[in-house]
Amino acid sequence: MGEKLKLAGNWSSGRNKITVNLSVILFKEEGTVIVFCPALDIYGYGMNEEEAKNSFDTALDEYFRYTINKNTLHDDLTSRGWKVHGSKTKKSRLDPPTMSELLNSNADFGDIFNTHEFQKLNRMVEIPC
């Protein structure tokens, strides 16, 4: 699995965006390539990296679309352990949980970490706010 994975997350509602460095995990399970972002608990999958990337991009875009439309993005991020610096209406910075925090709070990530060979990539993602 190479470095060709590029995350989009570029859904826009005409609002500002905050760029965040997210860790993404690539691994294989029963012949399927899986892309997983433990900080958002979002998966993509496919028969190869390109399909997994496209699936993940779609899931990421839908997550942003849904939480922005329902006005729940701030609450969802904080419930997942994100640190939101600034007010609900004017966010200045978002910090995702650390990998060690995620290992303690996300059982799926703990299972992946303990039972699969994986590759961790850091990618910049634009989060609409």
- Predicted confidence (pLDDT) per residue in 62-84, tens digit: 999 999 999 999 899 999 999 98
Rounded CA Rg of the chain:
14
For the CA atoms of 65, 66, 67, 68, the dihedral, rounded to the nearest 10 degrees, stands at: 40
Q: Where do the domains of the chain lie, and which CATH numbers do they carry?
A: 17-128 (3.30.160.250)
Instruction: Report DSSP state, residue 10.
Output: -
Mind listing the pLDDT tens digit of every residue in the chain (129 residues)? Answer: 444 444 444 444 456 778 888 899 999 999 999 999 999 999 999 999 999 999 999 999 999 999 999 999 989 999 999 998 876 555 567 889 999 999 999 999 999 999 999 999 888 888 876
Distances in Å between the Cα of 107 and the Cα atoms of 8, 66, 98, 104 are 26, 24, 15, 7
